[in-house]
Structure 1
Amino acid sequence: MVPSGAAVRSDVGRATGTRDATIHRGRPAGRRTVHPADLRFPPVAARLARPAAGQTLPVGFRDGARRLPWWTVTGGHTPPRRTRTLTIDWNQLPTYNTIMSVAAGAGLLLVALLGRQLLKDPCDVRLDGYALAFGVLGVILTLTGAHMTLTWPLAPTFPFDNIIFGEPALAFGVLMLGAAVHLWRRGRVLLESADPVAGFARDYLPLSVFVVGMGLGAFGIAVAGVNYTVFAAPPAEPIAGEFADAPMLEAVFISGPTSWWASARCSSRWCCAPAGWAR
């Protein structure tokens, strides 16, 4: 049984210690934006409640069947801890996630290409070139991922992005650096063996525990992105902000490839563990 609007508001008020807030599409003048870090999510049954016309909703609720993005939850009250606004001072906010995304995408494509060549024609693979590419991309991802993971530069405005971008980038960067060193030192020996794929699988088998764990973590990020629409860009962001009124569009657009990457990391034959276990 779904509770009434009044019961929902009173329950959340007791749970969070805050008064009711009104959910708006956009950013009305004179209202302060409540950040997810300042909220405690109400029970699932309460979040599914459909409000009556003109009724106010407690923070963190669904607007009928749609979950509103985090930047549209506004209210005229003071949150229990602190209030953040959506005003972004780009001069004080280091944003280098563009080069992180490009490096991560290039690295994933190179891993897939290397696996395809090893399975198709191992004798035609030039591992020195792959070692060079993995090393360059690994340095970029390790430095930027480590800085974002340890210092949380996006904390004032987008704290969850420090986890979504920083930690997977750091893990992937270190993996690529390790792969670069391994290909440079042992690649030629493995290619000259009777079964190069089996040789690579045996060498990477101990590392597969971490690889599979990161794949499962990517699944978690994808689910959280859809469930809480944390990938929804604010209207102030160029290009992506044009789709600010459709938060699920961007959530699915990002979570879909993330889920595919996670499944590839966990189940593909050329990705460390399954190849080793199959043999």
Structure 2
Amino acid sequence: MVVYNELVAITAGAGLIGFARFLTRLIRGKSIESEGWAGFFGVTGLLLLALGLHTTVTWPFGGDGFEYANVAFGQPAAGFGALLLFAAVYLWRQRTPFADDPDAAGATALRALKPISWFIGALGLAMGVLAISFVRFQLGAAPPEEPISGRFGHLPILEALFLGGLWGVVALGAILFAVAQLADRAGLLLWAARAWVVGGVVFLLFGALNYYTHLGMYFNIAHGTSYLW
């Protein structure tokens, strides 16, 4: 089984943290280096869109009941990647306004995000339903060959609660962002950013840890070893 959810997780984490930071700077009227942010959103968006679409249409997670991972990981990654690419294109095109009048450009950027808020809210709703599904069906338990997390595979509710909570935090941020934009409740934007920072940090750490646990799992399977840590 060839998967790449490690890269998806750390890229999603970086994207969430970065967008939250960018949004906070917009709200507080701080300067925006448009070209730099466009590059950041372009790199993270391209990776997430490409890997998310590939997961969505080819279903590399297969067998042993892991098919759900194609839906839970691939589709949100593709959607988030497309949103980040939108931000990259917008910021690249607005290089001159951000350089000449950053305050006006920042206010315009917040208004420009209103239409896309419908899709952000829709993704948030989907992430929320996925969060419930993780817990309801106790999805996400690691196989016994996987170090660290595999030691708790006989208690599937633990990883289900972790993944459900993580997806839920990101969903909360997306829904708050959509409500803030579409209902003109600007005070909620900072709360959306805070939720995304929390979710982004956890995604980043979770993805980094998976490089260790997944390599250990492949090693255990290939060599018949039983490394637990």
TM score, norm. by length of structure 2: 0.74
Whether contact under 8 Å (1:118, 1:196) holds in the other structure is no
Aligned partners of 2:34 and 2:98 also within 8 Å? no
Distance across 1 between alignment mates of 2:180 and 2:107 = 11
Aligned letter for 1:156? G
Which aligned segments of 4 or more residues in structure 1 are displaced greater than 4 angstroms?
A: 193-197
Deviates more, 1:259-268 or 1:163-172: 259-268
Partner of 1:149: 56
Is 2:128 the partner of 1:219? yes
2:176 paired with 1:274 = no
Q: How far is the alpha carbon of 1:218 from its aligned partner?
A: 0.3
Aligned to 1:176: 84
Q: Percent identity, please.
A: 35
Larger radius of gyration: 1
Q: Does 1:244 align with 2:173?
A: no
Supply the RMSD in Å over aligned alpha carbons.
1.9
Equivalence map 1:14-33=2 (5 Å): none
Of the three residues 95, 117, 121, the one matched with 1:208 is: 117
Q: Is the 8 A contact 1:146 1:170 kept in 2?
A: yes
Aligned length in residues = 183
Cα gap change, 1:266/1:187 in structure 2, threshold over 3 Å: closer, same or farther? farther
Matches within 5 A, 1:66-215: 93-122=1-30, 124-157=31-64, 158-189=66-97, 192=101, 195-215=104-124
More moved, 133-142 vs 189-198: 189-198
Change (3 A) 1:99 1:194: closer
Contact 1:145–1:168, Cα closer than 8 Å, also in 2: yes
| 2:141 is aligned with 1:232 | yes
For residues 222 and 195 of structure 1, what CA distance do their matches in structure 2 show? 38
Deviations 1:38-58 (A, max 9, x none): xxxxxxxxxxxxxxxxxxxxx
Shift of 1:208: 1.2
Q: Contact 1:142 / 1:171 at 8 angstroms: preserved in 2? A: yes
Corresponding residue SS for 2:145: coil
1:196 Cα deviation from its structure 2 partner: 4.4
8 Å contact kept, 1:190–1:199: no
Measure how far apart 1:145 and its partner are.
0.6
Is the 1:201–1:273 contact (alpha carbons within 8 Å) kept by the matching residues of 2? no
1:146–1:167 contact (8 Å) kept in structure 2:
yes
Structure with higher helix content: 2
Deviations 1:125-147 (A, max 9, x none): 21211111111111111111111
